[in-house]
Amino acid sequence: MDVETAFLNASVTEEIYIKPPEGFPLDNQYNCFRLKKALHGLMQSPRECYNNVNGFLHSIYFRRLVSEHCLYFRQDEDGQVCIISLYVDDLVNAGNLREIIDEVKAQLSAYYKMNDLGVVDHILGCEAKHNEASTNMPNRLLRNFYL
C-alpha cells in the first residue's frame, strides 16, 4: 500500500521558513512563510512522515521491533498475526489470515488516503514469492519469531 501525499499528513516539529515562489503576491511586510506541514523535498519530511505513521500504528496496537524500526507486528488474543513493513510512505502488509490483512487495510485507509497496490511481486529490488497454502503458521513458530 502507498500513502498518498504522505508528507502533507505530517506536521513539522521544527521552525522552518521558506521563500514564496517567484511572482507570488505578498500582502504583508514578510517575505517568507512558516511551514506547518512537511513538504516533499524537505530534509525533515521523511522523518516527520515516519513519526506520523509510527504514531498511528501504535494507536491501532502495533508494536515496533526493537531491532528493526520499520517492522511492526500485532497479535490478537485469537492468535491472528499481522506484520507491517514500512518504507517511507510504502507499507507491505502480511498476516496469517486474509481477514486480518483486510481489517488492517481498512484501518489504514480510514486514517490515510491510501492506494492499494495489490499483491507484492517486487519490493526494494527484491522479488517476492507467495505460497497461499502455507499462510497458517504454527503458533510455535510465531512465538519464536517474536521472542
Query: b vs e for 89-110, b when ≥16 Cβ sit within 10 Å of the residue's Cβ?
Result: bbbbbbbbbeebbebbbebbee
Cell numbers found for residue 138: 504454527
Higher pLDDT, 145 or 107: 107
Domain span at 93: 2-146
Model pLDDT, residue 132: 60
What's the pLDDT band for 134 if we cut at 50, 70, 90? low
What 3 state SS string does the chain have? CEECCHHHHCECCCCCEECCCCCCCCCCCCCCEECCECCCCCCCHHHHHHHHHHHHHHHCCCEECCCCCCEEEEECCCCCEEEEEEECCEEEEEECCHHHHHHHHHHHHHHCCEECCCCCCEECCEECCCCHHHCCCCHHHHHHHHC
pLDDT, one tens digit per residue, over 28-64 is 667 788 888 888 778 888 888 888 889 999 999 999 9
pLDDT at 8 over 90: no
The number of folded domains in the chain is 1
Q: What pTM was estimated for this model as a whole?
A: 0.73
pLDDT at 80 over 90: no
Considering the chain, what percentage of its residues have pLDDT values greater than 70? 86
Query: b vs e for 121-146, b when ≥16 Cβ sit within 10 Å of the residue's Cβ?
Result: eeeeeeeeeeeeeeeeeeeeeeeeee
| Mean pLDDT, residues 74-102 | 87
Model pLDDT, residue 22: 81
pLDDT at 76 over 70: yes
